[in-house]
Structures are given as structure tokens and as C-alpha cells.
């Protein structure tokens, strides 16, 4: 399928939806635990968006492509007063998170198991405090760069849903993708890169737990960059 002919629900998703096996325990967690955490995009978002969560929250954060959920779980435990929306189309990743939530439930997490562009288009304007995009699929070959999640269309989506002053965080071990993101954010105009010294992007974020994908990159000798952008106040 070419990018142009993809259906709307998979506009920005080009990866695998399933691994080789889903173990019975994981299948059980998907059947029993997922329904209690899943967002229904056919229903209008609650006003205020904080009402999406079973516990009072003062900020709503979005993590796109949470993989096995290492960061999402860690952050949700660390910040019980924030609500976390996690998006991951890879069923095995979702199953892994559901297994953890089955053992230790969290009232400040909601999830969606498909393309994050659908969630972004569902969210109210200015409702999100932070968007985390950690180790997005790198698409290193030039002919595939247009598949990268960062691009004009998705930065427009980020600019709409982020509150002014909100943050977009992007981590990657792929130099060309880091440069690509810096260039796209600069060209877009609604984002300011918050780095004044090299340590600001070479050092992991505060309270960073690491992720499975990052561990692999480090084992293979690649050096991640941790970018943070602020949604500008004066840019539309």
C-alpha cells in the first residue's frame, strides 16, 4: 500500500500491528483489562478533558508510541495528579502494558490502540500539557523519510492540542531524525527548542526510566538526543 492510498485510520502508522505470538496471559489482559482503559473516539471528549480519568488530575499528557509502556507506567506512578493518554498500535506492546495494569491498576491512565493522529484530531484545542514522542520509528532510508511521524501535518496537530507553553519532547538515537525534527520544528514556527547548552539535549530528561528501544540503541553504541520544545505563546 502506498502512503497516498492508506486509509485515514492508519495515516501515520506504517509498522507491524502484531508480533509473532501473543501469550495466553497477554491475550487475557487484552480481553479483561483493556476495556477499562480504552478511549472511545466515537464519543466526544469530556469537557474538561481531565474528566477522562477516574481520579482528579490537573494536567493531561500524551505519549505517542509507548512501546512496552516503560516510560508511561513510570511517569503515571510518579505523577498521580497528571492524567496520561498512551497510544500504541502494536498489540504486543498494549498487551504488555495491560498485564502491568492488571497487576497494579492506575486511575490516571487511558489508552488508544491505533494511529495517534486519530487521537490528536479528537482532542480539544489547547487541552494537552506535554506530548512525548520517544524513539519514533526512524525510517532511516531517505525514500521513507516521509513516513516519519514528525512532519508539517503532525506538527500542526501538536500546535493545536498543546496549551501555549506546553511541551513537545522528542528522543531519538538516529542523527538524521534528530536533525529532521529540529529543522521541521524551526520551519513550523509554533515551537521553540529549549536548549542552551549541549547537556540540555545529551542528558536524559529528569526522572528518565529508559525504554526498551533506548536500551537496544545504547547496546548498539548509538547516542540518543533528548529534545524539548515549548509551544510558543505568540504563534497562532
Ligand X SMILES: C[S@@+](CC[C@H](N)C(=O)[O-])C[C@H]1O[C@@H](n2cnc3c(N)ncnc32)[C@H](O)[C@@H]1O
Q: Which residues of 191-207 are buried (b: 16+ CB within 10 A; e: fewer)?
A: bebebeeeeebeeeeee
Spot the catalytic one: 114, 121, 137, 200. 137
User: Is 137 marked active-site?
Assistant: yes
CA-atom Rg of the chain in angstroms: 17
Q: Shortest approach of ligand X to residue 65 CB, angstroms? A: 2
Q: Shortest approach of ligand X to residue 233 CB, angstroms? A: 28
Q: Which residues contact 151 (CB under 8 A, 6 or more apart)?
A: 184
User: Which lies closer to ligand X via its Cβ, residue 66 or residue 168?
Assistant: 66
The answer to whether 13 and 154 have CB atoms below 8 angstroms apart is no
Furthest CA-CA distance within the chain: 51
Q: Shortest approach of ligand X to residue 69 CB, angstroms? A: 9
User: Which lies closer to ligand X via its Cβ, residue 68 or residue 166?
Assistant: 68
| Positions that interact with ligand X (CB under 6 A) | 12-13, 15, 64-67, 87-90, 93, 115-116, 134-137, 149, 211-214
Cα gap 69→75, rounded to integer Å = 10
User: Which lies closer to ligand X via its Cβ, residue 83 or residue 224?
Assistant: 224
User: Which lies closer to ligand X via its Cβ, residue 77 or residue 216?
Assistant: 216
Q: Shortest approach of ligand X to residue 96 CB, angstroms? A: 10
Cell digits of residue 178:
534528530
Where do runs of H (alpha helix) occur along the chain? 24-32, 70-78, 91-103, 116-122, 152-161, 175-188, 199-202, 212-219
Cα gap 77→106, rounded to integer Å = 8
User: Which lies closer to ligand X via its Cβ, residue 115 or residue 129?
Assistant: 115
Element counts in the chain: helices (H) and strands (E): 8, 7
Active site residues: 137
Amino acid at each position: 500500500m502506498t502512503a497516498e492510498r492508506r486509509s485515514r485510520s492508519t495515516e501515520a502508522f506504517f509498522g507491524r500491528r502484531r508480533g509473532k505470538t501473543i501469550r495466553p496471559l497477554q491475550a487475557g489482559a487484552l480481553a479483561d483489562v483493556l476495556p477499562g482503559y480504552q478511549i472511545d473516539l466515537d464519543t466526544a471528549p469530556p469537557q474538561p478533558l481531565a474528566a477522562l480519568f477516574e481520579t482528579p488530575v490537573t494536567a493531561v499528557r500524551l505519549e505517542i508510541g509507548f512501546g512496552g509502556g516503560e516510560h508511561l507506567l513510570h511517569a503515571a506512578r510518579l505523577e498521580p495528579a497528571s492524567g496520561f493518554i498512551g497510544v500504541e498500535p502494536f498489540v504486543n506492546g498494549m498487551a504488555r502494558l495491560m498485564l502491568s495494569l492488571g497487576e497494579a491498576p492506575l486511575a490516571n491512565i487511558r489508552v488508544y490502540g491505533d494511529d495517534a493522529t486519530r487521537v490528536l484530531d479528537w482532542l480539544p484545542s489547547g487541552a494537552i500539557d506535554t506530548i512525548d514522542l520517544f524513539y519514533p520509528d526512524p525510517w532511516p532510508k531517505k525514500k521513507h523519510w516521509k513516513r516519519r511521524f514528525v512532519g508539517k501535518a503532525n506538527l500542526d496537530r501538536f500546535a493545536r492540542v498543546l496549551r501555549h507553553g506546553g511541551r513537545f519532547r522528542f528522543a531519538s538515537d538516529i542523527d538524521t531524525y534528530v536533525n529532521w525534527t529540529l529543522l521541521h520544528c524551526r520551519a513550523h514556527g509554533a515551537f521553540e527548542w529549549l536548549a542552551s547548552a549541549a547537556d540540555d539535549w545529551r542528558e536524559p530528561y529528569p526522572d528518565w526510566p529508559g525504554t526498551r528501544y533506548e536500551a537496544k540503541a545504547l547496546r548498539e553504541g548509538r547516542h540518543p538526543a533528548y529534545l524539548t520544545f515549548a509551544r510558543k505563546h505568540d504563534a497562532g
